[in-house]
Amino acid sequence: MHSSGRSILGRTLVLFLIGFSALCIIVGTATWLFARTTTYTASIVSIREARATLVDLKSLVQDAETGQRGFLLTGRDTYLVPFERARAEIPQRLDQLRQSAAVLPELHGQLDELDPAIRQKLDELSQTIDLARQGRRDEVLRIIDSDRGKILMDQIRQRFDQLTQVADHGFAAAVDRQRETASLLRWVAFLGALVILAVVGGATLTVMRHTRALASARAEIER
């Protein structure tokens, strides 16, 4: 019985070590996967904010051009309200876009080309407005006929389209990675549960066998 008790103790200790190791692995893996999920969630939020800022920024640039055209056609300062608002808000939107785009290096890199193009466009709009206010319509017409403003606006639209595509691809990739991580987390939890059930079942079976052996030995002694 003494050797049997030591055998039972050894088996129980092995099962305990297996269960403890499995629990440590499960907790460690789950913590790592949860951290990855949190990172991907933050990336998704940032990319979505970057895309929304892109839409707002594009609208502001278009509003600025619309206000300039209205003023050149009518000479009325009321048409400059969207231009003035856009000129005031665009720098702030560009800063917001850079902060949100930090999670996507390819998106952040293309902003270096969009930023100067927008500033050049605003300078061109401001120049024509100033010349119109001074009554120098011929110079305004020469600038318009040079197609400089159209070329700049075409470049800006192209940049916006490229940035939007990059943001959409980055958003989709982040969502896919988040789903994969969530799936792995479920599998880890499932496999961990199986290991723990197996350990508990093995320990229970060992105890039951030992109990039956004790009962049998006691009956043997009593006989």
**Per-residue confidence (pLDDT) for residue 1, from 0 to 100:** 47
**CA nearest neighbour of 104 among 34, 47, 35:** 47
d(CA 60, CA 57): 5
Question: Which bin fits 104, alpha (ψ -120 to 50), beta or left (φ > 0)?
Answer: beta
**Per-residue confidence (pLDDT) for residue 62, from 0 to 100:** 92
What value does the mean pLDDT take over residues 41-47? 83
**Is the pLDDT reported for residue 162 higher than 60?**
yes
d(CA 67, CA 54): 20
CA distances from 64 to 91, 120, 123 (A): 13, 13, 11
Of residues 49 and 203, the one with the higher pLDDT is 49
Q: What is the identity of the amino acid at 136?
A: R
Pick the range with the lowest mean pLDDT from 117-126, 168-177, 212-221. Answer: 212-221
Instruction: Summarize pLDDT for 87-137 with one digit per residue, the tens.
Output: 999 988 888 888 877 777 777 777 778 888 899 999 999 999 999 988 888
Record the tokens describing residue 179, joined without a space. 């789903």
DSSP state of 80: G
**CA nearest neighbour of 129 among 176, 181, 198, 73:** 73
**Per-residue confidence (pLDDT) for residue 110, from 0 to 100:** 75
**Per-residue confidence (pLDDT) for residue 127, from 0 to 100:** 92
**Per-residue confidence (pLDDT) for residue 129, from 0 to 100:** 92
Instruction: Give percent above pLDDT 90 in the chain.
Output: 16
- What lies within 8 Å, CB to CB, of 9 at 6+ separation is none
**Is the pLDDT reported for residue 148 higher than 90?**
no
Q: Are 61 and 117 a contacting pair, CB within 8 Å?
A: no
**Is the pLDDT reported for residue 5 higher than 60?**
no
**Per-residue confidence (pLDDT) for residue 59, from 0 to 100:** 92
Instruction: Summarize pLDDT for 182-210 with one digit per residue, the tens.
Output: 777 778 777 777 777 777 777 677 667 76
Instruction: Summarize pLDDT for 53-87 with one digit per residue, the tens.
Output: 889 999 999 999 999 999 988 888 888 899 999 99
Cβ atoms < 10 Å from Cβ of 33: 20
